[in-house]
Amino acid sequence: MTASFRLPDLGEGVHEAEILTIPVKSGQAVKEGDIILEIETDKAAVEIPSPFTGTVREILVQIGDKAVVGNVLMTFQTETESTESRHEKPPPLKQQPSFIEEQIQSPVPASPSQSPVPASPSTRRLARELGVDLHKVTPSGSGGVVTKEDVQAHAQAKERPAPPAEAAEIDRPAPTPAAAPTPASLPDFTRWGPVERVPFRSIRRATAAQMTASWALIPHVNCQDNVDITRLEAFRQKHKAELAAVHGRLTMTVFAMKAVATALKNYPRFNASLDLATQEIVIKRYFNIGIAVDSENGLVVPVIRDVDRKSIKELAIEVEETITRVRAGKHRREEMQGGTFTITNAGALGGSHFSAIINYPEVAILGLGQGRMQPAVLTDDRGRHEIVPRLIMPIVLCFDHRVVDGADAIRFLRVVIAALEDPEELLITMI
């Protein structure tokens, strides 16, 4: 049986993707779940698994091609069809294009009901045992694959009562400002010299859209201060080799994440989103902190989950692993979701004070600059002053003035500063 494979709807408004790698060849045998493509959307790189077992018949795309949802990317000669593959319905997609189209020799187009849910045989078996309909399970695997954990979570969720409506958080895409100005036509720059045109797409385009929405919707206010990190840097130098031995990297960002988690618990409105549709402030009771990463493809903000529950050692390892994946283009879309607060550290590049744009729909972002030796005035217990060299780091908190006020922003920043200036304070206040 011949089947054609179409680019599936990857959700979250993703309508097109660029082909990064094609790890299979025409005539190659594949099994259900084998990776047949790697694509890049404006969110992240995504590995696409084969939804069936068979032989690659024809590859209709090349590396670098752009494809839109519904485009046929490959055709396959499938093995004897299984009963469960023919009768399963597709997952609930936003646009509902066929994930595959079976029997393309037939003049009648394939019905969406013939498309299988991407899942391994063992996952399908578990779903049958638990009485779970795979079409209703939200996938978490790369390329929309349903995993065993997804099936188990869905089965458990069916047994729990639904939360009250007022406690539910709805993640909405950033709305487009109604009065957005129409871009003016550009002049012909070639009149004055040679130019190069680079496609404005993928991560760079997504970043532009996110920043435009954030700047248009949120009244940004910032408060700045300096942090004496002399003692913290000595602590970092003392333990960085220990962390490096377990593939971790002890950076100022790691310490800042723990300090911020403590401040968020003390001032929860910084861990919120504003829902204008319902006129409510949605306060999140989990602490997932995004870290801005400079990559070859542009700014990427992966999210480190449950920062309050992890030790500095655990964070040092996880952050290093995450940054490595991002810079290699191997991060997953799931790693970019669910953030409640963002930290951006320009210190490694030599940056000083700067005002960052809030990562909508969050309400605050913390910017760290480079620590530099500066003269500082210290006062002893007797009130005597002394000028000494200290390592001083600039710090800037940008916040949404609709949700929080300046006084709370200063209090929030003081909690962070107190934790960063004293390693003992940082460890004691970690809650």
Give the whole-angstrom CA distance, residue 168 versus residue 172: 13
Sequence letter at residue 14:
V
Q: What is the pLDDT of residues 54-76, one digit of tens each?
A: 999 999 999 888 888 888 999 99
Summary mean pLDDT of the chain: 81
Peptide bond into 361 cis (omega under 30): yes
Instruction: Please tell me whether residues 264 and 411 are part of one structural domain.
Output: yes
Last residue of a domain, one of 60, 85, 115: 115
Which of 100-104, 112-116, 187-191, 374-378 is predicted with the least confidence, judged by mean pLDDT?
100-104
Query: 333 phi and psi, to 5 degrees?
Result: -60, -35
Q: State both tokens at 187.
A: 């002049």
Q: Is the pLDDT of residue 111 over 70?
A: no
Say what percent of the chain tops pLDDT 70.
80
Residue with more model confidence, 267 or 130? 267
Which of 18-32, 104-118, 301-315 is predicted with the least confidence, judged by mean pLDDT?
104-118
Residue with more model confidence, 85 or 214? 214
Instruction: Please tell me whether residues 258 and 367 are part of one structural domain.
Output: yes
Decide if 180 is inside a domain.
Answer: no
Give the model's pLDDT for residue 87.
42
Q: Is the pLDDT of residue 416 over 50?
A: yes
Decide if 133 is inside a domain.
Answer: no
Decide if 419 is inside a domain.
Answer: yes
Helix (H, G, I), strand (E, B) or coil at 398: strand
Instruction: Please tell me whether residues 269 and 414 are part of one structural domain.
Output: yes
Instruction: Please tell me whether residues 106 and 241 are part of one structural domain.
Output: no
Last residue of a domain, one of 115, 139, 159: 115
Q: Which domain holds residue 68?
A: 2-115
Identify the band that residue 94 occupies on the pLDDT scale cut at 50, 70 and 90: very low
Query: 386 phi and psi, to 5 degrees?
Result: -145, 135
Decide if 278 is inside a domain.
Answer: yes
Looking at the structure of the chain, the number of domains it has is 2
Residue 318 neighbours by CB under 8 Å, 6+ apart = 304, 310
Q: What CATH code is carried by the domain that includes residue 287?
A: 3.30.559.10
Give the model's pLDDT for residue 184.
65
Give the model's pLDDT for residue 1.
81
Instruction: Please tell me whether residues 222 and 110 are part of one structural domain.
Output: no
Instruction: Please tell me whether residues 263 and 366 are part of one structural domain.
Output: yes
Q: Is the pLDDT of residue 90 over 50?
A: no
Decide if 327 is inside a domain.
Answer: yes
Decide if 183 is inside a domain.
Answer: no
Give the model's pLDDT for residue 159.
57
Sequence letter at residue 179:
A
Decide if 323 is inside a domain.
Answer: yes
Instruction: Please tell me whether residues 105 and 246 are part of one structural domain.
Output: no
Give the whole-angstrom CA distance, residue 390 versus residue 165: 52
Decide if 178 is inside a domain.
Answer: no
CA distances from 138 to 135, 158, 385, 405 (A): 8, 13, 62, 38
Give the model's pLDDT for residue 171.
44
Identify the band that residue 311 occupies on the pLDDT scale cut at 50, 70 and 90: very high
Give the model's pLDDT for residue 80.
55
Identify the band that residue 245 occupies on the pLDDT scale cut at 50, 70 and 90: very high
**What's the chain's length in residues?**
431
Instruction: Please tell me whether residues 219 and 109 are part of one structural domain.
Output: no
* Residue listed under structure tokens 């752009």: 66
Please report, for the chain, how many H helices and E strands are present, in that order.
9, 20
Active-site residue list: 401
Instruction: Please tell me whether residues 285 and 393 are part of one structural domain.
Output: yes
Instruction: Please tell me whether residues 220 and 94 are part of one structural domain.
Output: no
Give the model's pLDDT for residue 38.
85
Which of 96-110, 128-142, 269-283, 324-338 is predicted with the least confidence, judged by mean pLDDT?
96-110
Last residue of a domain, one of 65, 87, 115: 115
Instruction: Please tell me whether residues 234 and 346 are part of one structural domain.
Output: yes
Alpha-helix residue ranges (DSSP H) falling in 110-229: 121-130, 148-159, 202-217
Q: What CATH code is carried by the domain that includes residue 93?
A: 2.40.50.100
Residue with more model confidence, 313 or 166? 313
